[in-house]
Amino acid sequence: MVSKKGATGSKHGKRSFAGQSMLGEVVGAVLAPVVLGGVSGLLLGASAPVYWVVQVVAAVGGFFGGFEHHGWRPGLIRGITGGVLYGTALLAVRALTGWTDAIDLGDLPVLLIVITALAGAVAGGLGGAMRARHAR
């Protein structure tokens, strides 16, 4: 498949973010973190162990989202964006359900957005750095 940049991806067979359609970019960079954050928001009130499993899945997703970029800086930006969307969706669903949390978020649950943004930055930055390293 030829992308809008005229390439099929990297020499490793992985498509780059810039090589995706606009729909692919929106799904990967916006919709995926929002949906996974929403699921986490539901799980926050339902099951602590499953909630933590989804946190690991989200971190792995953040790494691979960063891996779609060439270099740690664009991966880091992607990770921050995904982390903010993820954390915001999680708290929005939490507020909408009104369920008692299975995990204590402390006195300032809004700090979860900062935590998810930082975790996303690390995961995405590592993914972008790994891609740049493998491209050499």
For residue range 68-84, list pLDDT tens digits in order. Answer: 888 999 999 999 999 99
Domain boundaries, the chain: 24-112
133, two tokens: 């390293």
Residue 12 reports pLDDT greater than 60:
no
State the pLDDT at residue 14. 61
DSSP H stretches of helix in the chain: 22-26, 32-44, 48-67, 72-97, 111-135
Is residue 57 within 8 Å of residue 50, measured between CB atoms? Answer: no
State the pLDDT at residue 29. 79
- Side-chain half-sphere exposure of 115, counting CA atoms within 13 A: 12
Q: Comparing 125 with 25, which gets the higher pLDDT?
A: 125
Which of 19-33, 36-50, 117-131 is the least confident region?
19-33
Q: pLDDT tier at 35 (50, 70, 90 boundaries)? A: very high
Report pTM.
0.83
Q: pLDDT tier at 4 (50, 70, 90 boundaries)? A: very low
- Side-chain half-sphere exposure of 119, counting CA atoms within 13 A: 20
Q: For residue range 61-71, list pLDDT tens digits in order.
A: 999 999 988 89
State the pLDDT at residue 10. 45
Q: pLDDT tier at 2 (50, 70, 90 boundaries)? A: very low
**Rounded to whole angstroms, how far apart are CA atoms 19 and 6?**
8
